[in-house]
Structure 1
């Protein structure tokens, strides 16, 4: 476990963040004065329907985009203040798991997992093997993505994202392309990742059950606005609602 990854400190902070697109005549507000923090070592859900601002949040957290106003801090560092080289170094500490897996079809499983190390001009075959054992695919190292099931592809993607020992793992709808049984397996793997490595995990999803299964807290977004932050493991809110009932009330479902 990373020694600095203890719950109670912030892995990510959004400080009055607004992100707009377009010109003054046609401005679209993707995020509107968003302010919240993600505790280190937590599994934090970001919940909302299409158009809620989830993709923009992810891009801001991994430094692919910067706020129009406000600050996004990762491990205490304002990403917008970094030069390109510094930002690239910071992004080595951030892993990303995508809905569509994003594996390279003509590379084997082990070559896909080794890719982030190659980009850093590193070679560590033992680390690649250890990550594949961790996700349960030590027997599939020489296979190609086309030979894998959807769940196996996502396990490869998770191994690839963890091979550089990231402090922060961003998961973008990682289970929405999977069946119910496989979804449960991938969520359990993410929970084990936090327990084994102390990784802070951000789960971006529109699936209430996925958030309920593994998250400590969840931020609920609607049309670019932060509507609420809820403690997922609380049986009831202070109004006597269950967690899922409260989320549905906030989102008007």
Structure 2
């Protein structure tokens, strides 16, 4: 792999397969997948249930390793890292989950600060900046149960960004949200890329989400990469009022 490729590419899957053994049966969650995720892009990963999307995400985060092939993140083959080096690499990768995964007994501020605490760091200014960035500056002392679903996902995004990751992995981040809130979260992901230059991998089954924000999308079926589809950019405008948004979507 050339230095030029390394600097321009955030993630490389090089002939990656992942096989699981269940009793006497073997299941290929991924089969000979090769793809590049350009640095600074918003890259979609599309597929129905069982397509291999979650396995792909776990491989990018080093939570799983390929049966064969290589997963290279920021020029580093994750399988070549020791446990300490892998933990350090994960500090450079943020994750946003479908169901938020917030700690109910912690406030908004404490939830966002948690990754810093786990790294034995204290940076109140960074936490405050992240709350302001996601639009939650006035809710720092509230608990998750006092927030809407969209607000909880904003907390989750701020928590993922507080360590200034190079790569943000989003696992179905809008599937638990209504249409209007989904649009707001997708706009926040676009703002994240624009503000911080973060590379974003958006794992989803929602075509509208990919169409709204992604530069390209890899389409999977039963563990196989079918194609990588470029997403044409068109001017997007979302009406500020929920009623107008509903009328526009129903009329289109």
TM-score, normalised with respect to structure 1 = 0.89
* 1:176-187 alignment, distance < 5 Å: 176-187=175-186
> Deviation at 1:25?
3.3
* Aligned partners of 1:7 and 1:41 also within 8 Å: no
C-alpha distance in 2 between matches for 1:147 and 1:24: 45
* Aligned partners of 2:44 and 2:217 also within 8 Å: yes
Whether 2:26 is the aligned partner of 1:27: answer yes
C-alpha distance in 2 between matches for 1:228 and 1:210: 18
> Deviation at 1:233?
1.1
User: In structure 1, what is the equivalent of residue 237 of structure 2?
Assistant: none
User: In structure 2, what is the equivalent of residue 62 of structure 1?
Assistant: 61
C-alpha distance in 2 between matches for 1:7 and 1:39: 10
* 1:38-117 alignment, distance < 5 Å: 38-117=37-116
Unaligned runs of 5+ in 1: 1-5, 236-253
User: In structure 1, what is the equivalent of residue 159 of structure 2?
Assistant: 160
Partner SS state of residue 185, structure 2: helix
User: In structure 1, what is the equivalent of residue 145 of structure 2?
Assistant: 146
C-alpha distance in 1 between matches for 2:38 and 2:7: 6
* Aligned partners of 1:7 and 1:39 also within 8 Å: no
Partner SS state of residue 17, structure 2: strand
Partner SS state of residue 229, structure 2: strand
User: In structure 1, what is the equivalent of residue 202 of structure 2?
Assistant: 203
C-alpha distance in 2 between matches for 1:104 and 1:214: 29
C-alpha distance in 2 between matches for 1:120 and 1:15: 31
* Aligned partners of 1:113 and 1:156 also within 8 Å: yes
* Aligned partners of 2:6 and 2:74 also within 8 Å: no
C-alpha distance in 2 between matches for 1:8 and 1:181: 36
User: In structure 2, what is the equivalent of residue 238 of structure 1?
Assistant: none
Q: Closer, same or farther in 2 for the Cα pair 1:20/1:213, shift >3 Å? A: same
C-alpha distance in 2 between matches for 1:146 and 1:7: 43
C-alpha distance in 2 between matches for 1:171 and 1:36: 18
Unaligned runs of 5+ in 2: 235-252
C-alpha distance in 1 between matches for 2:6 and 2:207: 23
CA RMSD in angstroms comes to: 1.5
Q: Closer, same or farther in 2 for the Cα pair 1:24/1:112, shift >3 Å? A: closer
